[in-house]
Amino acid sequence: MSWVAVAVATTVASTAYAGYTNYQNNKHLGEQAEADAEAQLARGRLEAERIRKDKEKAQSAARAALAQNGLDVKEGTAVVINDQIELDGNYDANMAEITGYNNSQRLQAEASVYGRNAMMAGITTPINMVAAGANGVVDVRKAKATAQQQAAITSAASSNTTGGWK
C-alpha cells in the first residue's frame, strides 16, 4: 500500500508543479506583452517625430529651391507646395502615432489574457490537486478491495483441493 500512497503523493505534487509552472509562464508572458506594448507606443512616437523632422527638412529644401529660382516663397505656388508638404508630413506622423498606439493596445489585450490565464492557473491548481488526491484515495480503496477479493478467492480455492483424485 505504501507504493500507492507514494503514487498519489507524486500525482498531487506533479499537479502542483504543473499549475505553478503554468501560472509563472502566463505571468511572464503578460509582463513581456506589457513591456512590448510600451515599446510599440514609444516606437510610434519616435517614428512620428522623425517624420516631422523630415517634413521640416523637405519644406526648407523646397523653399530654398524656389528662392534659388527667383520665386517669392511667401505667395502663390511656393505657399501651395509648402502647405502640401505640411499636410502630407502631418498625416504621415499622425498615422505613425496611431499605428504605434494600435499595436500597443493589441499587446495590452494580450497581456490581459495572459494575466487572466495566470489567475485561473492559480485558482484551478489547488482544485486539481484535491481532485488528484481524491482520485488517488479512491484508487487506493479499489486496490485494497481488489486485494481482499483476491485473497478470499485464493483461500476459498485452496480449501477445496484437499480431497485429491477419486
- C-alpha to C-alpha distance for 120 and 62, rounded to whole angstroms: 60
- Give per-residue pLDDT as tens, 42-76: 999 999 999 999 999 999 999 999 889 888 888 88
With a CB cutoff of 8 Å and minimum separation 6, the contacts of 98 are 44
Half-sphere exposure of 93 (CA within 13 A, CB side): 17
pTM of the model: 0.66
- Give per-residue pLDDT as tens, 80-129: 999 999 999 999 999 999 999 999 999 999 999 999 988 888 888 888 78
Helix (H) or strand (E) holding 2: helix 2-68
Contact 90, 22 (CB under 8 A): no
